Chains A and B, each alone.
Chain A
């Protein structure tokens, strides 16, 4: 199983800088590596705003097109992940504000808590404990859902990139993550969703 924890966030930044510079110089393989590294993050940011398949795809494509035109202008190429996450967040908010099915103007996203995550097929979850956990996740407060959703990106994003995705100080991400997970665990406890022995084996 892939690691989603904080430990996976410590990729050295240098190869990313090399790839940004190479891609800006026309190296398609370097661009593909950037896509492989960050496309999951961009997608997760769009999804964390509860965008549909079509809207999330538009946000993703717009974000990557923006990078293509900004690539040789990036002042801090080592922060390209944060740049992508910020762009995806702005584009997601733009999409939400522009759509007619709309959320309130004042960004009161709590107003749509309880709405189902769009376009996913829960039948893909065959294990009881996954179903229980996912249902519990859906009832978390919106800020918690958005944070955890961003952290679920594959490959796992760095805290610096998550910070950009959520416009939140990097130092607050660890504590908030812990609080949100604590709450999630409280909600699923006692439902036999995660028996002790199974947890041990999963580790």
Chain B
């Protein structure tokens, strides 16, 4: 943020009191409340997120996102597939997302092993098979947040990826 100093003395006769600034802030808050309240659907979705609160799985954190990594941005952005990497202590999940409104993904779990992946999204979830090499695919994904829950294969306990908006 740039340091922009205001010459208070030139603002008005004797400057502006804290009270006046508080009133101005209150007026802004009141305007924002009328123009842009939190939509009811957004509030409801926040409440509904509680249903995804599980404690039986290991969490795989998002460690790479080709959308967000500055080094990857140059020359890559725009239309290309998006690559995401999630890492738990002993498991790595890599996925590649492509397509727009009807997105699809291909992914691989390391260490490899047959099992299943539950693709979780706003509308519910779909489960797909993981082959012996740890590979899986899923299609017709809705937009919005998405998370994978990986079971079987090379993982002792289920692994859930962090949610990410796609």
Q: Are B52 and A40 in contact (CB under 8 A)?
A: no
6 additional A-B pairs beyond A61-B122, A94-B68, beta carbons within 8 Å, are A65-B49, A117-B35, A117-B36, A133-B27, A177-B25, A194-B27
| A1-23 residues at the B interface, CB under 8 angstroms | 1-6, 23
Contact A4:B50 (CB < 8 A) given known A58-B143, A94-B67: no
Minimum C-beta distance from A195 to chain B (A): 13
Contact-residue bracket for chain B: 35 or more
Q: Could you tell me the distance between the alpha carbons of A189 and B20 in the complex, rounded to whole angstroms?
A: 12
Q: Could you tell me the distance between the alpha carbons of A184 and B11 in the complex, rounded to whole angstroms?
A: 11
- Can you list, as one digit per residue, whether each of A44-82 has a CB less than 8 Å from chain B (1) or not (0)? 100100000100111111101111111111000000000
Query: A202 within 8 Å of B by Cβ?
Result: yes
Q: Could you tell me the distance between the alpha carbons of A60 and B145 in the complex, rounded to whole angstroms?
A: 10
Contact-residue bracket for chain A: 35 or more
Task: Supply 29 A–B pairs (Cβ within 8 Å), ascending by A.
Answer: A2-B29, A4-B26, A6-B22, A24-B53, A26-B53, A31-B50, A43-B36, A53-B39, A59-B165, A61-B42, A61-B45, A61-B49, A64-B45, A65-B145, A67-B49, A68-B53, A69-B52, A69-B162, A93-B68, A94-B67, A94-B68, A95-B165, A98-B68, A120-B36, A124-B35, A148-B28, A152-B33, A178-B18, A199-B20
Within 8 Å CB of A47, what residues of B?
36
Q: Which of A95, A156, A181, A186 has the most CB of B within 10 A?
A: A181
- Can you list, as one digit per residue, whether each of A156-188 has a CB less than 8 Å from chain B (1) or not (0)? 100000000000100000001111011111100
Within 8 Å CB of A43, what residues of B?
36, 38, 42
Interface of A toward B, CB cutoff 8 Å: 1-6, 23-24, 26, 28, 31-32, 35, 39-40, 42-44, 47, 53, 56-62, 64-73, 91, 93-95, 97-98, 100, 102, 105, 117, 120-122, 124-125, 129-130, 133-134, 137, 141, 143-144, 147-149, 151-152, 154, 156, 168, 176-179, 181-186, 189, 194, 199, 202-203
Within 8 Å CB of B19, what residues of A?
203
Q: Are B2 and A141 in contact (CB under 8 A)?
A: yes
Within 8 Å CB of B82, what residues of A?
98
- Can you list, as one digit per residue, whether each of B46-61 has a CB less than 8 Å from chain A (1) or not (0)? 1101111111000100
- Can you list, as one digit per residue, whether each of B131-152 has a CB less than 8 Å from chain A (1) or not (0)? 0000000000001110100000
Q: Could you tell me the distance between the alpha carbons of A100 and B79 in the complex, rounded to whole angstroms?
A: 8
